Chains A and B, each alone.
Chain A
């Protein structure tokens, strides 16, 4: 049963999945730091300024729940692996096309070194004008699945070890006042035979958490995922649908009392959707889920898009949401309660 966290949001609250394109000048600063031409303090200042700008940009286009755009993170697994003891890096591997990531290897017993995203949250909280902000954290199953395991005798053992570490971080965030944490688990359905224990492990992350917890799963088998909807200790599932042409929306009928974070713009194509397309997608989703349980977001992180295209995609998303909001307002629905 979900709890009302005592906060009102506009109907169909809009958010991002997490990442946003880094400004060109920030990429330049990162290169300068790598070349030893600026110091850590200067780079930190650049990261802070970049977060201010991308939060402002999200808020200006009308996003209700902004993130910090993950400005400080090169990659969603690498960032955490660098902050947990026991990982080693051998070099980048391809994810798709000409996109690579620095895939870590677990070479010894993992241990929590210290907070990983707490300072990110505190800075974001300080710069955003919105009541609710989103903090993203990569889930234990995905960190394990996207790492090489040279140490643990089984992947299951590795995932549960990571779940303890991520849970500790989530609790830290909760104590610091975070209201909405999204756990990213794009790998969750990759190995159907592991789903039973994988769901248990990601529920370990939610142990002792009373705030809003979302789970983002993308480019995955949603039919398989839907069999576990009722067992997941998360109040929202943020899923990608634009990439698949809104096939599979039928799985939303199995959501129960959970919310959907509906992916309505494709983040791997540069062509811009139009507002009517977004509105139709939301209306289609409303045939499966009550509008009070729909949040709207892009399919996935926007970081691989050119910045101007990412912004235009968000503008179109908001315009599409506004079309549906007008219709909902006529039916008396103007707000959604934040639930955990």
Chain B
């Protein structure tokens, strides 16, 4: 039982790095030079979140173009299509087309994370706080065109979880990483996600990856049935956690959400990573306190931002990371204060 802060997903790619990538693309610098620049900015990001006292965080995912790339370039049976809008954002990704039954070679995401884990060790950061990030099975299916005749959506999700997520997670665990983040915005915004199939998939992953904590990160909306399902698994499986987007859910469903906070490991997204407007830390802290009071028996609560931070300019992302820390300090202080009265 405690109040923590977490970061997840893709951090805004610093402009110095973006320029270096362009220079590499036009043959002006070598791959070795580019690698050094990636490392430099990864060090900067890890020092930032470590310095702010984050309890868990991604490695910034600075080598990722979006939540699907470069992961899907390593999946046999998947082709890359034209650009598609990422939900309702002015942000696009190249859409995967599943043309054949998939198979997977060397884990790509864990390979990249390995570089960051090495950096984390060098700067004295804890590997256990790092997370591996992957698109969740439903989000991968909903954002792909599935042309392979051998698949319906359910079959594809099961296969993707088994062949890609499981293998990536195992590889990451070898590095000492315990947090496996599955980004599932589709689960939050769909009206009728296939919850039975997804419950089996998440439970199966949690069972097979005993030493890991599987985080199902939902954002861009709120689906009460999906959240109930995740809360149920979290209480039963022990190593499954989930995140709810309080910003996009709206206050109307807070009593519902308070139930999910009870006895679970939960991420509460209270800072909006899609607007530059800074939340009031006092109001945000009061909201968190209200929710945990409504829950009566909260478990581990991780305060966080809703979507990846890459929807923000980097300097605002830094401010929001600092803001989250301030909110958490305030919440902890208020809880301590009330328990000593």
Main SS at interface, chain B: mixed
Query: Is A90's CB within 8 Å of the partner chain B?
Result: yes
Q: Are A148 and B277 CB-contacts (below 8 A) given A98-B22, A266-B82?
A: yes
Are A91 and B314 neighbours in the complex by a CB distance under 8 Å? yes
| Cα–Cα, bound, A91→B92 (Å) | 19
Contact A98 B315 (CB under 8 A): no
Assess whether B90 is in contact with A98, with CB atoms less than 8 Å apart: no
Question: Known contacts A90-B313, A219-B83; is A95 also within 8 Å of B90 by CB?
Answer: yes
The closest CB in chain B to the CB of A187 belongs to B90
Are B90 and A145 interface neighbours, CB within 8 A? yes
Measured in the bound complex, the distance between the Cα atoms of B89 and A146 in whole Å is 8
- Asked if A256 is an interface residue, CB under 8 A from chain B, the answer is no
Q: Among residues 238 to 287 in chain A, which have CB atoms less than 8 Å away from a CB atom of chain B?
A: 243-245, 266, 268-269
Determine whether the beta carbon of B82 is less than 8 Å from that of A93.
no
B12 in the interface (beta carbon within 8 A) = yes
A268 with B83: in contact, given A95-B91, A95-B92 (CB under 8 Å)? yes
Is A103 in contact with B82, judged by CB distance below 8 angstroms?
A: no
**Is B36 an interface residue when CB atoms closer than 8 A count as contact?**
no
Q: Does A190 contact B (CB under 8 A)?
A: yes
Contact of B65 among A96, A148, A243 (CB under 8 A): A96
| A243 to B, closest residue via Cβ | B82
Do the beta carbons of A148 and B92 come within 8 Å of each other? Answer: no
Docked complex Cα distance between A97 and B22 (Å)? 11
Q: Is the CB of A219 within 8 A of B313?
A: no
Verify A96–B275 contact, CB threshold 8 A: no
Give the size range of B's interface with the partner.
Answer: 20 to 34
Contacts of B311 in A (CB 8 A): 93
Which of B1-9, B13-21, B127-135 lies at the interface with chain A?
A: B13-21
The yes or no answer to A57 lying at the interface (CB within 8 A) is no
Asked if B171 lies at the interface with its beta carbon under 8 angstroms from chain A, I say no
Is B37 close to A, CB under 8 A? no
Is A330 close to B, CB under 8 A?
no
Residues of A within 8 A of B88 (CB): 190-191
Contacts A103-B313, A146-B90 given; does A220 touch B13 at CB 8 Å: no
By beta carbon, the residue of chain A nearest B316 is A90
Cα–Cα distance between A245 and B66 once the two chains are bound (Å)? 23
Assuming the A-B contacts A148-B277, A150-B275, A150-B277, are A94 and B91 also in contact, with contact meaning beta carbons closer than 8 angstroms in the complex?
Answer: yes
Q: By the criterion CB–CB under 8 Å, are A220 and B85 in contact?
A: yes
Given contacts A149-B275, A190-B85, A219-B92, contact A92 B21 (CB under 8 A): no
- B84 interface hit (Cβ, 8 Å): yes
User: Which residue of chain B lies nearest to A96 when distances are taken between CB atoms in the complex?
Assistant: B92
Cβ–Cβ < 8 Å partners of B82 in chain A: 243-245, 266, 268-269
Using Cβ atoms and an 8 Å threshold, which residues of chain A touch B66?
96-97
A205 to B36, CA, bound (A): 49
Beta-carbon contact of A93 and B83 below 8 Å: no
Q: A244 CA to B21 CA in the complex, in Å? A: 27
A92: contacting residue among B22, B277, B313, CB under 8 A:
B313
List, in ascending order, chain B residues with CB within 8 A of A92's CB.
15, 18, 313
Chain B residues, Cβ within 8 Å of A187: 90
* A228 adjacent to chain B (CB < 8 Å): no
Q: Is the CB of A96 within 8 A of B316?
A: no
- Nearest neighbor of A104 in chain B, beta-carbon distance: B276
Which residues of A are in contact with B by a Cβ distance under 8 Å? 90-98, 100, 103, 105, 145-146, 148-150, 187, 190-191, 219-220, 243-245, 266, 268-269
Chain A to chain B contacts (Cβ below 8 Å), 6 pairs:
A91-B316, A96-B91, A98-B13, A100-B13, A219-B84, A268-B83
Q: Which residues of B contact A (CB under 8 A)?
A: 12-13, 15, 18, 21-22, 25, 65-66, 69, 82-85, 88-94, 275-277, 310-316
